[in-house]
Amino acid sequence: MAISQSTALLTDMYELTMLDAAFASGTALRPSVFEVFARRLPGNRRYGVVAGTGRVMEAVRDFRFDDDEIAYLASINIVSQTTLDWLADYRFSGSIYGYAEGECYFPYSPIMTVTGTFAETCILETVILSILNHDSAVATAASRMITAAHGRPCLEFGARRTHEEAAVHAARAAVIAGFIGTSDLEAGRQYGLKVAGTSAHSFTLLHDSEEQAFESQIATMGTDTTLLVDTYEIHTGVERAVAAARAAGGEVGAIRIDSGDLIAQAFTTRKQLDDLGATATKITVTSDLDEYSIAALNAAPVDSYGVGTQLVTGSGHPTAEMVYKLVAREGADGQMHEVAKNSENKQTVGGFKVAGRVRDSKGRAAQELIVSAQTWEQGQAYLERAGARPVQVQLISDGVIDQSTLGADGVRAAAARHEASRAELPYDGWRLSAGDPAVPVKMVDIFLGDD
């Protein structure tokens, strides 16, 4: 039996039982505002990176309950027939606002705001959070690695260290944060990413000698390929790599080191290459790198990094810890009201929020200004008066998706947005050590009136 491509069942059961109960109480169609935010930055990092926005747009587009989904829900008897009939016609018709994909964010930043009836907005919670929490965690780790690399290119090599579909999405998030490409071909196909890769240790072991392996690789890929030189002994591997390329009439493009003391190996290998006259041959290193090991390699003569496990697992923080909370809804009086949790350690801040970034005289981010307002337009007007750069965009307007957020174009725009947003941070924001958020957050509530 074919499996539907609908995203509607990427959903926690309680979303549908809440919906059913809300229909029974007559509150399901109340206009409502849900907000995605994070109470903290995992690991006390200085900033987070918004990623996954384009994928959320795809998921909302495909969020529909076709015959297969309705039949399944009917078979487990968790909602009434009235609710099933409503779900069968579901298409999101509300609006979504959010931080532009690639923007840096901070605690309580209104990363995404979903407006519509309670019925159509509450059931999007799980699919939105699952995408944003994964992709933003990967993008945040990737951005820190890019900072640590100080301009040296980084490639994403993590497909074999995570779920096969998560690998595609991790590659997309990494490129948004500044990685130049990925080894994952499906990610390359779906999002127009640059793909890269040559050979593994198994290719060398397949041949009767290391020389034969290098000669075979060069014969098919050219001398500009990258040869893996640590299957046996690195010093000998480098000699053989240079010799094989010269026998083919050129110089080897790069050698890759995947084991040992990478800092020491980089220095000794660079000297060996230079002594052999292979001064243009580059050195790339892999082997379970994270932002800290990349930073430690800054003084070493390394030209590029291949990063896998630590990248696709968020470098120790595999979720961005974002939540999806109701912040405003219509009351029995027909008026919109701010609502908020007051639970210990889990408080929320009510109201439809609009955010902007105030910059100092040097163009550095000095404050994240978050305005609780009645409408998008009211909040934007306040930001303009305050001289703050808007960090949000309208992603969906009355059910119509901004197509520029999707596909390869969306990835390129998000990568450019992140480069500019990260460059705007104050110097302390680039530190890898734990500390306070790079930019302080100021909350202003004009929900009940324009001040």
The answer on pLDDT for 253 being more than 80 is: yes
- Which residue shows structure tokens 């075979």? 216
Band of pLDDT at residue 341, cut at 50, 70 and 90: confident
- Full set of structural domains in the chain with CATH: 13-138+320-350+391-445 (3.20.140.10), 156-312 (3.20.20.70)
pLDDT at residue 450, rounded to an integer: 47
**Cβ contacts of 417 within 8 Å, gap of 6 or more:** 100, 101, 102, 103
Rounded average pLDDT over 271-300: 97
Alpha-carbon span 10 to 59, nearest angstrom: 9
Alpha-carbon span 231 to 399, nearest angstrom: 55
Choose among 208, 255, 258: nearest CA to 227: 255
| Contact predicate 255/281, CB 8 Å | yes
Alpha-carbon span 225 to 245, nearest angstrom: 9
Both tokens of 107, joined, read 């605690």
Band of pLDDT at residue 3, cut at 50, 70 and 90: very low
| Contact predicate 178/167, CB 8 Å | no
Query: DSSP labels for 322-360?
Result: EEEEEEEEE-TTS-EEE-----TT-----SEEEEEEEE-
pLDDT at residue 71, rounded to an integer: 97
Centre a 10 Å sphere on the Cβ of residue 9 and count the other Cβ atoms it contains.
16
The answer on pLDDT for 78 being more than 70 is: yes
Rounded average pLDDT over 193-220: 97
Band of pLDDT at residue 155, cut at 50, 70 and 90: very high
**Cβ contacts of 232 within 8 Å, gap of 6 or more:** 204, 210
Q: What is the DSSP letter of 388?
A: P
Alpha-carbon span 88 to 227, nearest angstrom: 55
pLDDT at residue 347, rounded to an integer: 73
Rounded average pLDDT over 104-119: 98
- Which residue shows structure tokens 């690399």? 149
Q: Residue 379: exposed, middle, or buried by beta-carbon count in 10 A (0-12, 13-18, 19+)?
A: buried
Strands 254-257 and 226-228 turn out to be parallel
Alpha-carbon span 256 to 252, nearest angstrom: 11
Alpha-carbon span 60 to 91, nearest angstrom: 9
Cβ-count burial 266-303 (b if 16+ within 10 Å, e if not): bbebbebbeebebeebbbbbbbebbbebbbebeebbbe
State pTM to two decimals. 0.95
Alpha-carbon span 448 to 152, nearest angstrom: 50
CA of 200: how far to CAs of 161, 225, 226, 233, in Å? 15, 13, 11, 15
Q: Which of 77-81, 345-349, 383-387 has the lowest mean pLDDT?
A: 345-349
Choose among 278, 292, 239, 315: nearest CA to 42: 315
Q: Residue 63: exposed, middle, or buried by beta-carbon count in 10 A (0-12, 13-18, 19+)?
A: buried
pLDDT at residue 449, rounded to an integer: 58
Question: What's the full length of the chain, in residues?
Answer: 451
What is the identity of the amino acid at 93? S
CA of 252: how far to CAs of 86, 102, 240, 270, in Å? 63, 36, 10, 13
The SS3 assignment for 318 reads coil
Band of pLDDT at residue 447, cut at 50, 70 and 90: confident
Both tokens of 362, joined, read 């040097």
Band of pLDDT at residue 448, cut at 50, 70 and 90: low
Choose among 160, 155, 111, 115: nearest CA to 137: 111
Q: Which of 18-27, 261-270, 339-348 has the lowest mean pLDDT?
A: 339-348
The answer on pLDDT for 1 being more than 50 is: no
CA of 160: how far to CAs of 151, 308, 312, 313, in Å? 26, 8, 10, 12
